[in-house]
């Protein structure tokens, strides 16, 4: 019996659910204090994303230097500075900056 070929859309949906599950596990491991397992789960999720050309969701943040899932208050600090969100990893000391000017403008229009 021949195997049914799945479409690219179905493959991306499967990849997205697996990546979300791995990131949930990575966050749980950060809460438990097992940083090495968190790194492994994040690297597996990234590998799945690269293989299927599926980007990581915006709400799933991880340190790009040490590959640990970032959980504000546990292993990272989040600050707002001059139209930027600054995320400071407490594991390795890396800093990520992201603009938030667009969201700020949207609030003033309402």
| Amino acid 4: pLDDT | 87
| Amino acid 108: pLDDT | 56
What is the spatial distance between Cα 26 and Cα 16, in angstroms, rounded to a whole number?
15
- For residues 52 and 9, the answer to whether their CB atoms sit within 8 Å is no
Q: Which residues in the chain land under pLDDT 50?
A: none
| Amino acid 70: pLDDT | 95
| Amino acid 109: pLDDT | 53
| Amino acid 37: pLDDT | 96
The domain spans of the chain are 8-109
| Amino acid 73: pLDDT | 92
């Amino acid at each position: 019996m021949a195997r049914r070929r799945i479409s690219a859309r179905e493959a991306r949906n499967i990849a997205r659910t697996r990546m979300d599950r791995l990131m949930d596990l990575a966050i749980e491991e950060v809460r438990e204090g097992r940083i090495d397992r968190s790194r492994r789960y994040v690297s597996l999720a990234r590998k799945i994303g690269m293989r299927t050309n599926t980007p990581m969701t915006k709400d799933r943040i991880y340190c790009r230097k040490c590959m640990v899932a970032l959980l504000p208050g546990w292993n990272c600090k989040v600050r707002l500075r001059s139209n930027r969100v600054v995320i400071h990893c407490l594991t390795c000391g890396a800093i990520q900056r992201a603009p938030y000017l667009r969201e700020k403008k949207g609030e003033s229009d309402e």
